[in-house]
Amino acid sequence: MLEIKEIWKTFNSGTVNEKQALRGVSLTLEDGDFCTVIGGNGAGKSTMLNAVAGTWTVDEGSISIGGVDVTHLPEYKRAPYIGRVFQDPMLGTAPTMQIVENLALAARRGRPRGLRWGITAAEKEFYHQMLKNLDLGLEDRLTSKVGLLSGGQRQALTLLMASLRKPKLLLLDEHTAALDPKTAAKVLELSDRIVAENHLTTMMVTHNMRDAIAHGNRLIMMYDGKIVIDVSGEEKKKLTVHQLLELFSKVSGSDEADDKLLLS
Amino acid sequence: MEFLTALLKSMPGAVGQGLIWGIMAIGVYITYRILDIADLTVDGSLATGGATCVLLALNGVNIWVATLCAILAGMLAGLITGLLHTRCGIPAILAGILTQLALYSINLRIMGWGTATGTQATLPIRVDNYALLVSSRHIRALGLNNPLLLLVLLVAAVIAILYWFFGTELGCALRATGSNPSMSRAQGINTDTTKVLGLMISNGLVALAGALLSQYQGSATIDMGRGAIVIGLAAVIIGQVLLSKIFHNFALKLLSAVIGAIIYYIVIQIVLRLGLDPNDLKLLTALVVAVFLSIPYWKGRYFTKAVRKGGNVHA
């Protein structure tokens, strides 16, 4: 479903701030894979997700989603294939627009937008039912401005928007990092549910090793712009945080990185 | 008493000007409030609208067609600003200034079309010789030729069309672009296209206001748009301060910009009657806008006791 081949990305090339963020990353996800991505700050996790989403284009290598080469497509042209939830709850929704208007925008992802009504009566009823089933307390606030919602509600809404038109790939970029633990757990649970119900191919970046182990069928760890650990299937099911740390110090060749990872 | 009679007599004129500038203020509302761009093209495109309309009318073109062409000329100006911003990466405010400056020369050329020198700073048109849509000559007339009637209808039509447009898929995409560009791109919206479109619609309305204004006052002039952005902002802000508590519907929000413009011109009439030198008007306008723009900031900074949940909620 997703095929990343040898992608490279350098920021601020030729200056003192030069940073090789991705150094030859390759990754293939099969249909229905749920891959968690971990790594310390600056390891390249979010950079890899942004490369796939098309925030900018990569320097070298290629990316294809569901057989379509998207390497040179701008962000908005990749949107039909990709659902996205950002780390910052503010980024995923339009705060000055209503809840239903946000959903209606997402329902039209990847379709030409013309002079038909931006939202229909049948749609409103559908969203009402959908929100009711999710039990987020949003079904009675359909016409509230999204700017009035809490961070957790916004992330839940963004998740719904990302999956409303079934994407070929769902990208979750530390989408629970800005939430309190209780809300984070709820949003993660909702993510699992949506991924399972829609059979979505998913990549989830997280700082939390336990979450990375508990969710998905595959786990990769990044270090210094490369994928250094890749476990899946039975091996991943049996993985513990302790083992993961050991694996990491072996691959990276240092013990101090343990603290860096745990603290971050 | 004499003061009051004189003031009352000047009211129809103030309302007429307010309605024309209200259309301009709606244009400013679209860029400033919906797209979150301060577009300075308007100072130039207002005069472009006036110049285009008068030139065509003087050459025998039907006045409705001439007004329509003025709108198209304004949209073209908006297109240039939009392309400078999105295709050339120039900050929106600077892109607007560049177009505005270029339009100064272009407007001189439009008004000087067919003359010996090729440029001209004023282009008069007499309501006696041409069937103009609106004229200040009839502002106190008690008949169908009173310009207020047509202006009210035009304002209503503009609001109705925009209300419809911003409810469509494309209009929603435009609103989303102003509200959150990164979310819009993630939802497959080409934010460059929507920005350009918004700038075109806005400047089309501003040029319509320019076309009406030049007919109303009987001439197009090169400096008729000087400071237009500030007047437009004043109208938007006055309307918002006075009416945002009661006007929640989108059409009513557009209407509040028009009402803001009318109030602005009534206040101007009052201060002029009270003896203010007309040359000090722009200073006064700038001060009023500066103060009103500062109020939300000061409020947030000095008068907020506890941090409110949910951040800023004013739309």
- Identify the residue with better confidence: B196 or A264: B196
Cβ proximity of A175 and A162 under 8 Å? no
Assess whether A17 and A107 both reside in one domain.
Answer: no
**Same domain (yes/no): A129, A83:** no
Pairwise CA distance, residues B308 & B300, whole Å: 10
- Report yes or no: B115 at the A interface, CB cutoff 8 Å: no
Nearest beta carbon to residue B171 from set A95, A118, A145 = A118
Which residues are within 8 A (CB) of A173 and not within 5 positions of it... i.e. 6 or more apart? A46, A49, A50, A84, A85, A86, A87, A205
Residue A135 sits in the same domain as residue A179: no
Express each pLDDT in B214-263 by its tens digit: 999 999 999 999 999 999 999 999 999 899 999 999 999 999 999 999 99
Among residues B248, B247, B242, B278, the alpha carbon closest in space to that of B261 is found at: B242
Asked if the Cβ–Cβ distance from B185 to A114 is below 8 Å, we say no
For residue A65, is it within any domain?
A: yes
The ipTM is 0.90
Distance from CA of B177 to the nearest CA of A (A): 8
A248/A133 same-domain check: no
Contact yes or no for A144/A93 (Cβ under 8 A):
no
**What is the full DSSP assignment across chain B?**
-HHHHHHHHHHHHHHHHHHHHHHHHHHHHIIIIIS----TTHHHHHHHHHHHHHHHHHTT--HHHHHHHHHHHHHHHHHHHHHHHHTT---HHHHHHHHHHHHHHHHHHHHTTTSSSS--SEEE--TTTS--S--GGGTT-SSTT-HHHHHHHHHHHHHHHHHHHTTBHHHHHHHHHHH-HHHHHHTT--HHHHHHHHHHHHHHHHHHHHHHHHHHHTEEETTTTTTHHHHHHHHHHHHHHHHTTT--SHHHHHHHHHHHHHHHHHHHHHHHHTT--GGGHHHHHHHHHHHHHHHHHHHHHHS--SPPTT-----
* CB interface of B with A, residues 190-209, below 8 Å: 190-191
Q: Which two three-digit tokens encode residue A39?
A: 């790594």
Last residue of a domain, one of A130, A148, A166: A148
Q: For residue B182, give the nearest of A91, A115, A119 by CB distance.
A: A91
Domain of A64, CATH number, reads 3.40.50.300
Per-residue pLDDT averaged across B256-281, rounded? 93
Query: Could you tell me how many CB contacts below 8 A there are between chain A and chain B?
Result: 97
CB contact under 8 A, B172 and A104: yes
Q: For A228-237, B30-39, B194-203, which range has the lowest pLDDT when averaged over its residues?
A: A228-237
In a domain, A139, yes or no: yes
How far apart CA B31 and CA B29 sit, in angstroms, is 6
* C-alpha distance from B180 to closest chain A C-alpha (Å): 5
Inter-chain residue contact A108 with B176, CB threshold 8 Å: no
B175: closest CA of chain A, how far (Å):
8
Residues A81 and A183 in one domain: yes
- In this complex, is the C-beta atom of B168 within 8 Å of any C-beta atom belonging to chain A? yes
Indicate if A79 and A194 belong to the same structural domain: yes
Whether residue A153 lies inside any domain: the answer is no
Q: Quick check: is A249 in a domain? A: yes
Q: Band the pLDDT of B145: cuts 50, 70, 90.
A: confident
- pLDDT surpasses 50 at B312: no
Does the reported pTM lie above 0.90?
Answer: yes
What's the domain count of chain A?
A: 2
Q: Are residues A102 and A210 both part of a single domain?
A: no
Residue A259 has a pLDDT of 53
CB atoms within 10 A of CB A120: 12
Domain containing residue A14 = 2-93+158-263
> What's the whole-number mean pLDDT along residues B131-143?
92
What is chain A's mean pLDDT, rounded? Answer: 91
- Structural domain includes residue A11: yes
